[in-house]
Structure 1
Amino acid sequence: MAGVAPERSTLLHLVAGGCGGTVGAIFTCPLEVIKTRLQSSRLAFRAIYYPQVHLGTLSGDGMVRPASLPPSLIQVLKSILEKEGPKSLFRGLGPNLVGVAPSRAVYFACYSGAKEQFSHIFAPNSSIVHICSAASAAFVTNSLMNPIWMVKTRMQLERRVHGSKQMNTLQCARYVYRSEGVRGFYRGLTASYAGISETIICFAIYERLKQHLKDPSWSPFTGSPEMNSTNFFGIMAAAAISKGCASCIAYPHEVIRTRLREEGTKYRTFMQTARLVFQEEGYFAFYRGLFAQLMRQIPNTAIVLSTYELIVYLLEDQIK
């Protein structure tokens, strides 16, 4: 970022990324809860929706295969509201808010710094620069934040009964530590690393669309450096398109990660989980909850990236 000292540039991206992530997390939390429930293999959850048939599996464990299609997003939403109450749609919001601001802050700061470094190695603002920057930032962020996301997933999978008291964030973290030790907080990390491919695809498409948005001959969006409503909504559209494409391509890692984070699960490693899901439930199980994911991630990413770009624009002149 020309004209801004490296330390202040990093601070700028920390603040902008944190604010964007927080706004997006609050607005899309209910959809994330529904998506996580749909990804889960918990038999207690499945029993709510449809009749079952007990089968044996290649792993030797018993499983329950549904006699009909998996529940829809609306069915899950209706069941949560009826059986657990509206508050359950915000399960995991605590660790989400605790984690999303620093994770987004770390991500965007690493992404911005890596982009500057890789621009000295490769052609500036080229696709390879965006790919390497996104991969580096995602690796650092996933490694640091996995314990918080692990606790969030456990809380979202916990079914609430009316009148019962559920574990809060600290209680859930203590329970994970007592029952599984420090290693328990890193369940699903390999799947998160596999999910770096989604981040790479998203930011490669996003940066390319941003470049086109600045070209008056290519699109109706203004190429002016001044931020206005046209630029803002153009950035939102670019973010939505890039995240939608990336989510559809790389979604199976999300299902595998949720299965690895379940309590008392038979799933142990990334490849073993992928093999079991395919053998027991078929290929389409890898896309369970995709619609809820798209409904959550597309607006969430549009909110996060547009808020980030807006805050960078507003604060950039203040810290020069």
Structure 2
Amino acid sequence: MDPESEGPHSVKVTPVQQVLASCTGAVLTSLMGKCFVYSNGLMDHMCVCCEETGSKAWYKKPGNFQGTLDAFLKIIRNEGIKSLWSGLPPTLVMAVPATVIYFTCYDQLSAVLRSKLGENETRIPIIAGIMARFGAVTVISPLELIRTKMQSKKFSYKELHQFVSKKVSEDGWISLWKGWAPTILRDVPFSAIYWYNYEILKKWFCEKSGIYEPSFMINFTSGALSGSFAAVVTLPFDVVKTQKQTQLWTYESHKISGPLHMSTWVIMKNIVAKNGFSGLFTGLIPRLVKIAPACAIMISTYEFGKAFFQRQN
């Protein structure tokens, strides 16, 4: 057998090619994932969830929604199917650079760790996943603040520049990283769990199928399963992040001050006291509906892109 085709790491993919593969995956995931955006009940996207008349209502969207499917159908009926992709530019502003940094760093770190620790070291996906996500969240955190503003109010770019300048002059540069801690608490464990399970599942499916290189469907399935498991485990931190952002929008929209500096643990204790332990897992199904296909599309597209460049190389 040709030694160049004996293993998945024998033909190198350059960092630039990894960037191109991850960029393609980010754009596709954003385009495919926007259809879940109004109905997932999460603050990271286009909807702001607030309590009105005893049921959840989505900010600036007509009517009250009883659930994911109900929101999905009502938005299409009232605003047309194109509205499911409204607000795509702010999402791409966040998704593309975050994904490029994250996936490229993960692969580069994995390659370095394999050379130091050996190809079969099981800790590599965990270490690389933690370090890559930590770096990506830190770099992208100011962009998330900007995207949040673009979504909550229709700012022009001039108004956006004025907002950022005012915030920096009043609260300092560190204010651009507001929300960094709860994001880290959610995303870093998610990354470690996701990559560890993804690599294990991919290897297991390959062994069961009797093939050496994972197929597109193996990558797709492994991504969906590992993403789902990580989403369940880290959901409490997502609920906390949602609560913080809901408070922020509520206080800003009513121009009142409020306890915006409550710690993650205090918010968790309040949720448990009010709704029980199950309150930390509010919105599990909508989160899975969003994350499972997003993880599957992203990783399978990324791996497909890398395989394409490997053949070219």
Aligning the two structures, in what range does the TM-score lie when normalised by the shorter sequence?
Answer: 0.7 to 0.9
Partner of 1:275: 269
Partner of 2:182: 191
How far apart are 1:17 and its partner, in Å?
1.1
How far apart are 1:301 and its partner, in Å?
0.8
Partner of 1:256: 240
Residues 1:76 and 1:151: Cα distance change in structure 2 (over 3 Å): farther
SS in 2 for 1:293: helix
In the aligned structure 2, how far is the partner of 1:280 from the partner of 1:306? 41
The question of 1:35 aligning with 2:35 is answered no
Q: What does residue range 161-240 of structure 1 map to in structure 2 within 5 Å?
A: 166-167=154-155, 171=159, 174-175=162-163, 178=166, 181=171, 182-195=173-186, 196-215=188-207, 219=208, 221-225=209-213, 231-240=215-224
Superposed CA offset, 1:271-307 (max 9, x none): 2332333334433332222211111111111110000
In the aligned structure 2, how far is the partner of 1:39 from the partner of 1:95? 11
**Aligned equivalent of 1:266, options 259, 270, 285:** 259
The question of 1:307 aligning with 2:301 is answered yes
Partner of 1:245: 229
Partner of 2:132: 137
In the aligned structure 1, how far is the partner of 2:157 from the partner of 2:126? 34
Q: What does residue range 280-291 of structure 1 map to in structure 2 within 5 Å?
A: 280-291=274-285
In the aligned structure 2, how far is the partner of 1:44 from the partner of 1:102? 26
**Aligned equivalent of 1:97, options 86, 92, 98:** 92
Residues 1:19 and 1:256: Cα distance change in structure 2 (over 3 Å): same
In the aligned structure 2, how far is the partner of 1:282 from the partner of 1:183? 35
How far apart are 1:79 and its partner, in Å?
6.2
In the aligned structure 2, how far is the partner of 1:142 from the partner of 1:104? 10
Q: Contact 1:39/1:255 (CA < 8 Å) preserved in 2?
A: no
Q: Contact 2:189/2:234 (CA < 8 Å) preserved in 1?
A: yes
In the aligned structure 2, how far is the partner of 1:169 from the partner of 1:289? 33
Partner of 2:28: 23
In the aligned structure 1, how far is the partner of 2:283 from the partner of 2:267? 17
The question of 1:2 aligning with 2:2 is answered no
How far apart are 1:129 and its partner, in Å?
0.7
TM-score between both structures, scaled by the size of structure 2? 0.77
Q: Contact 1:32/1:293 (CA < 8 Å) preserved in 2?
A: no
SS in 2 for 1:146: helix
Residues 1:151 and 1:207: Cα distance change in structure 2 (over 3 Å): same
SS in 1 for 2:14: helix
How far apart are 1:260 and its partner, in Å?
2.5
Q: Aligned-pair RMSD on alpha carbons?
A: 3.3
Q: How many residues align?
A: 282
In the aligned structure 1, how far is the partner of 2:305 from the partner of 2:297? 12
Q: Contact 2:23/2:99 (CA < 8 Å) preserved in 1?
A: yes
SS in 2 for 1:197: helix
TM-score between both structures, scaled by the size of structure 1? 0.75
Q: What does residue range 63-142 of structure 1 map to in structure 2 within 5 Å?
A: 71-77=66-72, 89-90=84-85, 92-142=87-137
Q: Which runs of 5+ in 1 are unaligned?
A: 52-69, 159-164
How many percent of aligned residue pairs carry the same amino acid?
19
